[in-house]
Copies of this chain bind each other. A is one copy, B any other.
Amino acid sequence: MMETSTEIDQLFHALSDPTRRAILDRLCSGPMSVSSLAAPFGITLTAVVQHLQILEKCALVRTEKVGRVRTCRIEPTGFDALERWVREHRTIWEKRLDRLGTFLAEEDASK
């Protein structure tokens, strides 16, 4: 169902995995090679690379290969997209809360 696999789908999906969020946290201390990035996680290098591909696809991470070393760094674009989504939806949310407020006020007045 839902044939439109949007950017935001991928973004939320990427962030829903604790290992992936841990990778981001780790990259916050600065750029890193894949293997030193992978070191503290108890999973294979391959698995970490797969996570990186997912993070890269939604612009949370950027990687660049020089020689045999691939360096990974945080890419803020994806995070910006998340912030945008949150900001847009907060206003909708607030509208709804206003409506609820009105409803409660009306109910109160009718007593």
Contacts and interface: CB of A to CB of B under 8 A. Distances in A.
A99 B30 contact: yes
* Interface range on chain A (Cβ under 8 Å from partner): 35 or more
Interface in A36-90: 41-43, 47, 74, 76, 79, 82-83, 86, 89-90
B18 A9 contact: yes
A16 B25 contact: no
State the oligomeric state as a number of copies. Answer: 2
A27 B92 CA distance: 11
Contacts of A90: 79, 83
B2 A9 contact: no
A1 interface: yes
Contacts of A96: 27-30, 74
A78 B18 CA distance: 18
Interface of A: 1-2, 4-6, 8-9, 11-13, 15-19, 21-22, 25, 27-30, 41-43, 47, 74, 76, 79, 82-83, 86, 89-90, 92-93, 95-97, 99
